[in-house]
Amino acid sequence: MMISLVVAASENNAIGQDNSLLWKLPNDMKFFKNLTWGMPVIMGRKTFASMASKPLPGRINIVISRNPEVLPIQENVWPANTLEHALELARSSDCLEAFVIGGGEIYKQCIAIADRIYMTRVHARYPDADTFFPAIDDSLFRIENAIDMSADEKHAQAYRFETWQRVGHTTL
């Protein structure tokens, strides 16, 4: 099973503030939905809470919490008490790829084992953010694909879709 991180991060690696996203990028949301549809998504409890504790439709939502028994019992929500447990649950779904979708602490734990990173690089800086994506070590990952997108009436910031592949790993 391939482990992929999916993130939108600013030029200073900011991903959130006060448990909310810092921007609205409809094309990024469409990309995220199409990429993760039908697959397991792994997230921390705070990320799940930022979605009003409602599972993303069409996906198995694996939520990591030190106290998984406090998570609401819902269809397509699989609680896990550790990252390792979350990965076991994802493997049990017989998927080819599992997607880690945040937050900052979960990304820090996962970047060392990730095979791929799907990053939407937002061309802006957010010095007041309180949640960040870890720096990508370009000796371990290489950009495999990149598509630049301009700001427009629906997207206040320009951004770039980047696919990073771990050096030495083959693609699907």
Residue 50 lies in a domain: yes
The total domain count for the chain is: 1
Tokens of 109: 């734990």
Residue 171 lies in a domain: no
Split at pLDDT 50, 70, 90, the class of 170 is: low
Q: 139 with 92: CB under 8 angstroms?
A: no
Residue 139 lies in a domain: yes
Residue 172 lies in a domain: no
Is 172's pLDDT higher than 60?
no
Residue 72 lies in a domain: yes
68-110 pLDDT tens trace: 877 778 889 999 999 999 999 999 999 999 999 999 999 999 9
Q: Which domain holds residue 130?
A: 12-162
- CB burial readout 13-35, b (16+ within 10 A) else e: bbbbeeeebbbebeebeebbeee
pTM of the model: 0.94
For the segment 128-157, the average pLDDT, to the nearest whole number, is 96
pLDDT at 151: 95
Which CATH number covers residue 91?
Answer: 3.40.430.10
pLDDT at 171: 55
Residue 3 lies in a domain: no
